[in-house]
């Protein structure tokens, strides 16, 4: 029957698919008895690729499109996904949900997946079939992967675990990085600028130095094994895996050529392979990055291998003018045929790279480093210091003290390595190093126990671990693991060398000590680059249950740290954007004024806030003129609107609208200067969203909401931590679309993305509202309590509790508590908003009274409310509904939406009005 035939075709189709195309015809000839079946299978095989592509792409249009945020760099190719070789897409492997096939090679097949527990993307690498086939190959794979997984370095891809799927596939789960491999970068760019090459090279060398320290040799260093992440950092992939594959590798056709090109002579001849082989490969990669061609080429693998063994490539500086002689020599040294003539170690290579000065200078004029703490700008030139300290030993000490070399490295130069003397000449003009440690890479050093009898050691350790753990959960931070800082626990080398060793731009150190009957934690944030103290805080807590105290303190310190670091990072990124030091300083001052102005505004000191905003505006005006290409000044000017108008005031006039329109024009200017300024885009979206609430023409309002939505979506798509955009989008969805689920989703994401706590109270509050409206009352209550604890002065978090009391199902209607809250809200409200807030609170108290079974009191409270504001009407409608007075409720609701059509979407889905949903008049009100 039909099914029989179908199954027969299916079996042949499956068999044939598994074969290389050239063998299929013969198979079909042999296996299919019927010509018709053979024809059918052939026809299916012919359409297969297109069919897979069709379904793959169409699946992207389904509601569960694999990529929630297609990155802007790859939309057209996104659809051209390679087929799914292990047919795992959509499957669950271990605890991971496989999303898309990313690629594959000799080292295995890689899929992007999601870890639902930790809600993060991961890359899963499956053992390639030719390795999986043998027990021994598999065990070696696991052993090597396990060794590599112990490595912890910002430039080594992080391995999470090695596991086996239900179907028996071995796989490695590792961090997923947005970006492309260096191979892809090179294919696109041809060659890379010298500066960038050096920067990547240093990262690679640093990673190898740590691996070699741990006795792990990579063995397969090549561009395809280097990820260049979206934040332009290199991550080395596949440590040690080559070893497992070594035997099978050479026999694999087609694969070898690419790899052979990076093979060292000793590897090519089957001699023992050690760290020098990796350095050779680095030399090949550097050569390729700078010239666009590999130093040893040939049409077939044997020719390549012969070149590796016999030929000397032309020196780099002859190939390309702007390659500094030192760099050319260094690469030449890496490509020495005899391993002992190459740099003595990856650490030495790193030092030498750090000392390379580019002759042509960076592409732009160098910007002086922002002066930080004790290193005055003029002194950061080592040449100057070198004059003061005479003699090689002095220079050596100095180089060591500044983290350029580790003490051991300098004195243990191996044969063939650069001699100390040579180093000295480099350091003379080392000036400032082009590479800066990333401040987002954080090392939490073990806190010291400063108690008299060393009684707090366990506490200090526990605290350190808690803090480390807390910071690990912050998006955008790379935290060196416990394991990584362990070595600096007993022996405490100078901070700068720790920073260099761990490549950590931020160090956290501190101590714990008892003070009377409480515990004090002293914590410092130190700039890994300059060792200046960015933050120094003492936190005291009454001695309590140890575990709770550790957690509490860790939370507090983490908050302080995130805020402080956020500012550092913002300032740094601004600095990188402009060529004008003066403009940068003006923007920094303006930013501070803006922050102060916002604070004053919160405290209801409006005149003073406006004054500061005006000052900031004028500074930004100057900054914008000094560097006419820089988008930050106009972008910040646009943001000043947040001080100049109150977005949630209900009575905007032409003045407010005009201010906002003008500020939108500044955002446009910023985007004209730099269309990728997602901060400016967010601000424009935010301002359009505000304006939409306050224009009379409904069509115009709808258009503004649409435009705002576009801006915000794009900002979220284009930047990694767009907390403000997500927060604003969440509000828009909640208030203008009535789309609570989505609003909740974006509120959560905003909260997570707000790594540096720039808008923490906003995200908490938004989470509260979104949770409330989606009926997650326990969540809502938790957000409200958290807000009260963290922001005791903010009226929002008193108000939220009152809202909970007023909402059926959310909390028991505690009348006493409600009145207390009314009082607390009054205390926290400035005179300007006093009347409105009181009316709003009273409407909610009426709801609480109605719920508590005091209808008469509720009515009395409602009668006293005089405000005709639409929001008040909306809330009164709710109270009347709880009293069973539907007509009154509908009248008020109708009045509210007449004044504010924007309320319709919310009202339609508001749990408060659930009981009215089927009422024809209600439907008429929300959807006329």
Partner 1 sequence: MTDRPSHEKASGQSQSPWDITGILDRLREGSDAAEKALFGRVYGELRKRARGQRRRWKGDPTLQTTALVNEAYLKLVGQDDRSWKNRSHFFAVSAMAMRQVLIDHARRTRAEKRGGDAPRLSLEALREKLGQEAAMSEEDAEAFLVLDDALERLEETHPRAARGVECRFFGGMTIAETAEALGVSTATVSRDWKQAKAWLYREMQRIRSGGTPPDNDTDAERNPESDDAFSAPESSF
Q: Is 312 or 812 the residue whose CB approaches partner 1 more closely? A: 812
* The one segment of 72-80, 198-206, 218-226, 501-509 that binds partner 1 by CB under 8 A: 72-80
Q: Which residues contact 561 (CB under 8 A, 6 or more apart)?
A: 471, 508, 523, 525, 535
Residue that has been written with the tokens 């914590």 in this structure: 523
Per-residue DSSP letters for 152-185?
--TTBPPEEEEEE-TTS-EEEEEE--SEEEHHHH
- With binding defined as CB under 8 A, does residue 407 bind partner 1? no
d(CA 645, CA 657): 9
Q: Which of 37, 91, 559, 814 binds partner 1 (CB under 8 A)?
A: 91
658 part of the active site = no
Four-CA torsion 258, 262, 264, 267, nearest 10 degrees: -40
Q: Distance from CA of residue 430 to its chain's centroid?
A: 32
Q: Which two tokens stand for residue 607?
A: 């005149």
CB of 690 to partner 1, least distance (A): 21
CB of 20 to partner 1, least distance (A): 17
Under 8 Å between Cβ of 285 and 295:
no
Kindly determine how many residues on this chain lie close enough to bind partner 1 according to the rule CB under 8 A: 64
Q: Does 704 bind partner 1 (CB under 8 A)?
A: no
Q: Which stretch binds partner 1 (CB under 8 A): 62-70, 239-247, 404-412, 523-531?
A: 62-70
Q: Which of 414, 809, 853, 884 binds partner 1 (CB under 8 A)?
A: 809
What gap in Å lies between CA 235 and CA 773, rounded to an integer? 43
Minimum distance from CB of 765 to partner 1 (Å)?
20
Q: From CA 881, how far away is CA 862, in angstroms rounded?
A: 12
**DSSP H helical segments within 97-134, as ranges?**
129-132
- If one asks whether residue 815 binds partner 1 (CB under 8 A), the answer comes out as no
Is 539 a binder of partner 1 (CB under 8 A)?
no
Structure tokens at 854: 């005091």
Chain-centroid distance, C-alpha 67 = 16
588 to 139, 678, 850: CA distances (angstroms): 56, 19, 53
Cβ proximity to partner 1: between 177 and 912 the closer is: 912
User: Which of 543, 560, 703, 808 is close enough to bind partner 1 by CB under 8 A?
Assistant: 808
CA distances from 412 to 184, 451, 633 (A): 38, 39, 51
Spatial separation of the C-alpha atoms in residues 184 and 284, rounded to whole Å: 16
Determine, following the binding rule CB under 8 A, whether residue 54 of this chain makes contact with partner 1: yes
Cβ closer to partner 1: 519 or 726? 726
Query: Is residue 674 near partner 1 by the rule CB under 8 A?
Result: no
**Kind and range of the H or E run holding 150:** none
Per CB under 8 A, the segment of 84-92, 128-136, 486-494, 627-635 that binds partner 1 is 84-92
Considering only the stretches 435-443, 513-521, 538-546, 809-817, report the one whose residues sit in contact with partner 1 under the rule CB under 8 A.
809-817
**Is residue 117 near partner 1 by the rule CB under 8 A?**
no
Does 820 engage in binding with partner 1 (CB under 8 A)? no
58 near partner 1, judged by CB under 8 A: yes
Is 55 a binding residue for partner 1 by CB under 8 A? The answer is yes
Instruction: Find the shortest distance in angstroms from Cβ 161 to partner 1.
Output: 21
In angstroms, rounded to a whole number, what is the distance separating the alpha carbons of residues 98 and 840?
49
Strand locations in 464-558 (E): 478-479, 506-515, 518-527, 533-542
**Binder to partner 1 among 2, 390, 491, 516 (CB under 8 A)?**
2
Residue 884 is a binding residue for partner 1 (CB under 8 A) = no
Binding of residue 388 to partner 1 (CB under 8 A): no
Please say which residue, 116 or 361, places its beta carbon nearer to partner 1: 116
**Least separation in angstroms between CB 192 and partner 1:** 30
Question: Considering beta carbons, is residue 249 or 909 the nearer one to partner 1?
Answer: 909
Give the whole-angstrom CA distance, residue 773 versus residue 764: 14
The residue within the footprint of partner 1, chosen from 20, 29, 61, 491 (CB under 8 A), is 61
Which residue is associated with the tokens 């626990």? 489
Residue 608 or 915 with smaller CB distance to partner 1: 915
**Least distance between partner 1 and beta carbon 61 (Å):** 4
**Of 75, 366, 368, 487, the one binding partner 1 by CB under 8 A:** 75
Contacts of 158 (CB under 8 A, 6+ apart): 152, 174, 175
CA distance 368 to 11: 69
Residues 894-923 that bind partner 1 (CB under 8 A): 909, 911, 914-915, 917
Identify the DSSP state of 313: P
Contact flag: residue 215 with partner 1 (CB under 8 A): no
Q: Does 17 bind partner 1 (CB under 8 A)?
A: yes
Cα(309)–Cα(303) distance, integer angstroms:
10
Closest CA to 157 of 132, 133, 199, 123: 123
Is residue 85 part of the contact set for partner 1 (CB under 8 A)?
Answer: no
Min. distance of Cβ 505 from partner 1 in angstroms? 33
Q: Minimum distance from CB of 738 to partner 1 (Å)?
A: 7
Task: Provide the mask over 724-763, with x wherever binding to partner 1 is found by CB under 8 A and - wherever it is not.
Answer: -------------xxx-xx-xx------------------
Q: 915 CB contacts (<8 Å, ≥6 apart)?
A: 881
Which alpha helices (H) appear in 774-814, and where do they start and end?
777-790, 796-806
**Rounded CA separation 715/694 (Å):** 23
* Whole-number Å distance between alpha carbons of 678 and 670: 10
Name the minimum Å distance from CB 13 to partner 1: 5
- Residue 17 vs 483, nearer CB to partner 1: 17
For residue 781, state whether it binds partner 1 (rule: CB under 8 A).
yes
- Which of residues 81 and 202 has its CB atom nearest to partner 1 in the complex? 81
Q: Does 390 bind partner 1 (CB under 8 A)?
A: no
**Among 65, 389, 393, 676, which residue sits at the site for partner 1 (rule: CB under 8 A)?**
65
Q: How many separate helices (H) and strands (E) can be counted in the chain?
A: 43, 15
- Considering beta carbons, is residue 167 or 365 the nearer one to partner 1? 167
* Min dist. Cβ of residue 752 to partner 1 (A): 13
> Interface with partner 1 includes 812 (CB under 8 A)?
yes
Q: Distances in Å between the alpha carbon of 375 and those of 424, 481, 662?
A: 21, 29, 42
DSSP letter for each residue of 571-627: HHHHHHH-S-HHHHHHHHHHHHHHHHHHHHHHTT-HHHHHHHHHHHHHHHHHHHHHS
Part of the chain binding partner 1 (CB under 8 A), chosen from 55-63, 208-216, 433-441, 889-897: 55-63
Residues 24-53 that bind partner 1 (CB under 8 A): 43-45, 47-48, 50-53
For residue 73 the two structure tokens come to 């760099």
Backbone angles phi, psi at 62, to 5 degrees: -75, 160
Residue for token pair 């809250």: 821
Q: Which of 4, 7, 213, 220 is the catalytic position? A: 220
What's the min distance (Å) between Cβ of 77 and partner 1? Answer: 10
Residue of 74, 87, 340, 823 interacting with partner 1 (CB under 8 A): 87
Among 110, 795, 810, 849, binds partner 1 (CB under 8 A): 810
Residue 643's contacts (CB-CB under 8 Å, 6 or more residues apart) are: 594, 597, 598, 601, 609, 610, 612, 613
In the structure encoding, which two tokens stand for residue 439, read together?
Answer: 């401040």
| 485 touches 576 (CB < 8 A) | no
Minimum distance of partner 1 from residue 55's CB (angstroms) = 5
Task: Identify the burial level of 726 via C-beta atoms within 10 angstroms of its C-beta, where 0-12 means exposed, 13-18 middle and 19 or more buried.
Answer: buried
State the catalytic residues.
220
Which residues form the interface with partner 1 (CB under 8 A)? 2-3, 6-7, 9-11, 13-14, 17, 43-45, 47-48, 50-65, 68-70, 75-76, 78-79, 87, 90-92, 713, 737-739, 741-742, 744-745, 775, 777-778, 781, 808-812, 909, 911, 914-915, 917
């Amino acid at each position: 029957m039909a099914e029989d035939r179908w199954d027969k075709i299916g079996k042949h189709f499956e068999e044939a698919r598994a074969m290389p195309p050239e063998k299929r015809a013969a198979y079909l000839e042999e296996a299919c008895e019927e010509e018709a079946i053979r024809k059918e299978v052939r026809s299916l095989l012919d359409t297969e690729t297109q069919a897979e592509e069709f379904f793959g792409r169409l699946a992207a249009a389904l509601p569960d499109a694999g990529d929630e945020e297609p990155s802007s760099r790859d939309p057209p190719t996104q659809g051209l996904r390679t087929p799914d070789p292990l047919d795992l897409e959509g499957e669950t492997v271990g605890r991971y949900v496989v999303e898309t096939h990313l690629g594959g090679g000799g080292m295995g097949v890689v899929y992007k997946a999601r870890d639902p527990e930790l809600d993060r993307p991961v890359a899963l690498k499956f053992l390639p079939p030719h390795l999986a086939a043998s027990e021994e190959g598999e065990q070696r794979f696991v052993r090597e992967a396990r060794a590599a997984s112990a490595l912890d370095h910002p430039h080594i891809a992080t391995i999470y675990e090695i596991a086996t799927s239900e179907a028996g596939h071995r796989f490695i789960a590792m961090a997923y990085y947005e970006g492309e491999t260096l191979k892809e970068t090179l294919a696109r760019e041809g060659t890379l600028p010298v500066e960038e090459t050096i920067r990547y090279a240093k990262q690679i060398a640093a990673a190898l130095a740590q691996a070699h320290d741990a006795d792990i040799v990579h063995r397969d260093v090549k561009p395809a094994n280097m990820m260049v992440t979206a934040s332009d950092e290199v991550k080395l992939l596949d440590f040690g895996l080559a070893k497992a594959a070594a035997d099978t590798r050479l026999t694999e056709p087609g694969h070898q050529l690419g790899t052979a090109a990076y093979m060292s002579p000793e590897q090519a001849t089957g001699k023992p392979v050690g760290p020098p082989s990796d350095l050779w490969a680095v030399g090949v990669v550097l050569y390729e990055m700078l010239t666009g061609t590999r130093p040893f080429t040939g049409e077939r693998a044997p020719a390549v291998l012969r070149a590796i063994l016999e030929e000397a490539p032309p020196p780099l500086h002859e190939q390309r003018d702007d390659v500094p002689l030192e760099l050319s020599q260094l690469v030449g040294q890496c490509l020495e045929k005899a391993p002992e003539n190459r740099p003595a170690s990856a650490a030495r290579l790193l030092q030498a790279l750090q000392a390379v000065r580019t002759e042509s200078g960076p592409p732009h004029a160098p910007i002086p480093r922002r002066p930080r703490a004790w290193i005055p700008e003029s002194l950061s030139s080592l040449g100057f210091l070198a004059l003061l300290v005479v003699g090689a030993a002095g220079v050596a000490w100095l180089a060591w003290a500044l983290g350029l070399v580790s003490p051991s490295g300098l004195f243990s130069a191996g044969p063939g390595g650069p001699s100390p003397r040579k180093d000295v000449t480099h350091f003379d003009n080392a000036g400032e190093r082009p590479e800066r440690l990333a401040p987002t890479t954080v090392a939490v050093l073990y806190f010291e126990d400063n108690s008299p009898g060393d009684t707090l050691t366990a506490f200090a350790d526990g605290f350190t671990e808690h803090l480390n753990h807390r910071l690990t959960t912050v998006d955008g931070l790379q935290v060196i693991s416990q394991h990584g800082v362990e070595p600096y626990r007993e022996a405490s080398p100078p901070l700068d060398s720790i920073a260099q060793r761990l490549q950590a731009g931020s160090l956290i150190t501190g101590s714990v000590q008892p003070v009377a009957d409480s515990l004090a934690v002293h914590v410092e944030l130190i700039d890994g680059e300059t060792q200046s103290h960015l933050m120094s805080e003492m936190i005291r807590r009454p001695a309590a249950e140890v575990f709770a105290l550790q957690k509490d303190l860790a939370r507090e310190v983490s908050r302080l740290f995130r805020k402080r670091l956020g500012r550092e990072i913002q300032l740094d990124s601004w600095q990188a954007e402009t060529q004008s030091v003066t403009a940068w300083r003006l923007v920094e001052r303006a930013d501070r004024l803006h922050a102060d102005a916002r604070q004053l505004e919160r405290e209801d000191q409006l005149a003073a806030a406006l004054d500061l905003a005006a000052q900031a505006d004028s500074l930004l005006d100057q900054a914008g003129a000094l560097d006419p290409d820089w988008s930050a000044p106009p972008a910040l000017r646009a943001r000043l609107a947040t001080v100049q108008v109150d977005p949630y005031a209900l009575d905007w006039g032409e003045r407010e609208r005009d201010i906002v329109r003008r500020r939108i024009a500044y955002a446009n200017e910023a985007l004209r200067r730099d269309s990728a300024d997602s901060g400016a885009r967010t601000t424009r979206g935010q301002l359009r969203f505000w304006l939409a609430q306050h224009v009379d023409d409904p069509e115009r309002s709808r258009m503004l909401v649409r435009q705002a939505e576009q801006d915000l979506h794009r900002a979220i798509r284009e930047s990694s931590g767009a907390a403000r955009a997500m927060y604003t989008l969440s509000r828009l969805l909640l208030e203008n679309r009535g789309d609570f689920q989505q609003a909740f989703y974006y509120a959560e994401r905003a909260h997570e993305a707000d790594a540096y706590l720039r808008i923490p109270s906003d995200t908490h509050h938004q989470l509260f509202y979104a949770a409330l409206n989606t009926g997650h009352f326990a969540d809502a209550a938790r957000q409200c309590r958290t807000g009260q604890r963290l922001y005791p002065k903010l009226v929002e978090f008193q108000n939220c509790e009152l809202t909970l009391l007023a909402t059926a199902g959310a909390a028991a209607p505690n009348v006493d508590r409600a009145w207390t809250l009314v009082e607390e809200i009054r205390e926290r409200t400035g005179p300007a908003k006093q009347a409105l807030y009181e009316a709003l609170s009273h409407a909610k108290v009426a709801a609480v009274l109605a719920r508590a079974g005091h209808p008469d009191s509720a009515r009395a409270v409602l009668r006293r409310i005089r405000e005709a504001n639409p929001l008040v009407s909306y809330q009164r409608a709710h109270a009347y509904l709880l009293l069973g007075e539907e007509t009154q409720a509908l009248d008020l609701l109708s009045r509210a939406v007449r004044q504010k059509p924007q309320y319709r979407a919310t009202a339609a889905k508001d749990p408060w009005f659930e009981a009215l949903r089927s009422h024809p008049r209600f439907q008429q009100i929300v959807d006329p």
